Chain A
């Protein structure tokens, strides 16, 4: 997935009152997470259901989970027909 970061006003060429499309518009939303999805690649049959159901577009078509932005909603684990994704309580990184 191509990464799109926020552009500075100088980069756009003019000071603007328009919002600019940006990844992470409210920061790294991974910090919202209490439970973290963990993929068991051996069980996965690439049905892509988690990819299309993820409300945050955090699972790529190659079933790679973007932990920077994953909010830990748990839809992928709930909907995985083969139980390849499990939600594990996240240890605080401090």
Chain B
């Protein structure tokens, strides 16, 4: 799918309440283009709620439910059951796509129980987590998705723990489709949404969303930071289907050796939230720890790729 083949119809309306350079609205545009108009949306409390609900108007041109934090999986289960019933009764000709749009707070921390339940029941819906790695809506508090050493308002010297990986938790649920996407690769993201639309069952897509005010970089660098995240290995692009993980776009190119891993320092330096690693003095220990972890993951993947190419065709479990 090339950019010029993308549908022109905008289901996200201009003049919204989103910040300048908001990654959430940029992701929503690509997602809505891929899913089309026959979609019912449930927005879980997140930054998207801000531009979805300045009553009496909304910037989203789709039937939308404005829901509480912990309800992602539960509303989807209800919507999906109701849509199934309406199709059986003949009220609806075609079952609409049920889309849950949640932030990382509503997915990683507060909403994971309902999501896990819905995934275990294999409810027919798409769950999207746009991950800005903090509670940006309430002023950048630490979340389960905040990476190691990142500044937030309650980890002022940098977070001491590593982030968890909900995409891998969803892989472990054995659902039909799990994918990660990046704003800097819109064709890859579009393809993943279009693929998810075709499949029945629980589908999980996670988009990394660099947040200019929360991560402290200029609003024009949203896409640049998203691209650096993939190029430096801080964010990995893959899709998991039928028990098999396929790496895509930028991550695939690094694994296949077509492009080199960018030093993680470049990614960290692009953002003010890692500023304490460089000022007043360079924190070699923590930068080294982050780089070492990425190197380990990619060395394993590159080794697996070479093995598959030259020795035998086996599938190793993805590193956690």
* A-facing residues in B258-316 (Cβ within 8 Å): none
* A-facing residues in B1-27 (Cβ within 8 Å): 3-4, 6, 8, 10, 12-18, 20-26
* Complex contacts, B186 vs chain A, CB 8 Å: 52-53
Asked, given contacts A20-B56, A22-B57, A29-B15, whether A74 binds B6 with beta carbons under 8 Å apart, the answer is no
* B-facing residues in A39-88 (Cβ within 8 Å): 47-49, 51-58, 61, 66, 68-69, 71-75, 77-79, 87
CA distance A85 to B206 in the complex (A): 31
* Complex contacts, A27 vs chain B, CB 8 Å: 15
- Greatest chain A CB density within 10 A among B14, B17, B23, B54 is at B14
Secondary structure dominating the interface of A: loop
Q: Is A92 an interface residue, CB under 8 A from the partner?
A: no
CA distance A13 to B24 in the complex (A): 33
Can you give 30 A-B contacts (C-beta < 8 A)? A4-B61, A17-B55, A20-B56, A20-B57, A21-B57, A21-B59, A22-B58, A23-B14, A24-B15, A25-B17, A25-B51, A26-B17, A26-B54, A32-B20, A52-B3, A52-B6, A52-B30, A53-B186, A54-B29, A55-B24, A55-B25, A55-B26, A55-B222, A56-B15, A57-B13, A57-B14, A69-B15, A73-B212, A73-B220, A75-B219
Q: A56-B16, A73-B219 are known; give 17 further A-B pairs, CB within 8 A.
A: A19-B54, A20-B56, A21-B58, A23-B14, A25-B57, A26-B15, A26-B17, A29-B16, A48-B3, A49-B3, A54-B29, A55-B21, A57-B13, A57-B25, A66-B14, A73-B21, A78-B220
Residues on A lying within 8 angstroms of B by beta carbon are 1, 4, 6, 16-29, 32, 47-49, 51-58, 61, 66, 68-69, 71-75, 77-79, 87
